[in-house]
Structure 1
Amino acid sequence: MSKTCGAPCGGDATPIADTDMRRSSEASGKWVSVYAVPKMDCPSEERMIRLALNGFEEIRVLSFDLSNRRLEVVHDGEVEPITAKLTTLGLGASLQETAAADPESIKAVGDTSASAAQESGTLRWLLGINAVLFVVEMTAGLIAHSTGLIGESLDNFADAAVYGLALYAVGHSVKMQVRAAHLAGVLQLILAVGVLAEVVRRFVFGSEPESLMMMAIAFVALIANTSCLLLISKHREGGAHMKASWIFSANDVVINLGVITAGALVAWTGTNYPDLIIGTIAGVIVLNGARRILALKG
Structure 2
Amino acid sequence: MAECGCEPAPADTKAQQRTLWIALALNATMFVAETTAGVIADSTGLIADGLDMLADAAAYGIALAAVGRSGRFKANAAMGSGLLLLLLGIGVVVDVVRRLISGASPEGAWMIAVAAVALTVNAIVLRLLSKQRQKEVHIRATWIFTRADVVANTAVILSGIAVLATGIRYFDLVVGAAIGIYVVKEALEILSEAREARSATRRSAS
Query: Which residue of 231, 248, 266 corresponds with 2:163?
Result: 266
In the other structure, the counterpart of 1:168 is: 65
Q: Does the 8 A contact of 1:155 with 1:285 survive in 2?
A: no
Structure showing the higher strand proportion among its residues: 1
Query: Which residue of 245, 267, 276 corresponds with 2:142?
Result: 245
In the other structure, the counterpart of 2:202 is: none
User: Greater shift after overlay, 214-223 or 160-169?
Assistant: 160-169
Aligned 1:2-81 pairs, distance under 5 A: 64=1, 71=2, 73=4
Going from structure 1 to structure 2, the CA distance change for 1:244 and 1:112 (only over 3 Å counts) comes to farther
**Partners of 2:186 and 2:98 in 1: CA distance:** 23
Q: Does the 8 A contact of 2:44 with 2:96 survive in 1?
A: yes
Query: Which residue of 156, 163, 173 corresponds with 1:276?
Result: 173
Q: CA deviation at 1:226?
A: 1.6
Q: Which amino acid aligns with 1:120?
A: Q
Which structure has the greater CA radius of gyration? 1
Query: Which residue of 116, 120, 129 corresponds with 2:13?
Result: 116
In the other structure, the counterpart of 1:132 is: 29
Q: Secondary structure at the match of 1:73?
A: coil
Aligned 1:215-254 pairs, distance under 5 A: 215-254=112-151
Q: Which amino acid aligns with 1:134?
A: F
Q: CA deviation at 1:144?
A: 0.7
Structure showing the higher helix proportion among its residues: 2
Q: Does the 8 A contact of 1:158 with 1:286 survive in 2?
A: no
**Partners of 1:194 and 1:166 in 2: CA distance:** 23
User: Greater shift after overlay, 135-144 or 236-245?
Assistant: 236-245
- The alignment covers a number of residue pairs equal to 194
**Is 1:205 aligned with 2:102?**
yes
Q: CA deviation at 1:136?
A: 1.2
Deviations 1:170-221 (A, max 9, x none): 577978x9599659946962x5444323311222234210000000100111
TM-score by structure 1 length? 0.54
Aligned 1:82-161 pairs, distance under 5 A: 112-161=9-58
Which of the pair has the greater relative contact order for Cα pairs under 8 Å at 6+ separation?
2
Q: Does the 8 A contact of 2:119 with 2:153 survive in 1?
A: yes
Percent identical pairs in the alignment equals 43
**Partners of 2:55 and 2:32 in 1: CA distance:** 12
Q: CA deviation at 1:293?
A: 7.7
List runs of 5+ in structure 1 lacking aligned partners. Answer: 1-63, 65-70, 76-108
Q: Does the 8 A contact of 2:43 with 2:107 survive in 1?
A: yes
TM-score by structure 2 length? 0.75
Going from structure 1 to structure 2, the CA distance change for 1:167 and 1:149 (only over 3 Å counts) comes to same
Going from structure 1 to structure 2, the CA distance change for 1:232 and 1:217 (only over 3 Å counts) comes to same
Q: CA deviation at 1:158?
A: 2.2
Going from structure 1 to structure 2, the CA distance change for 1:246 and 1:186 (only over 3 Å counts) comes to closer
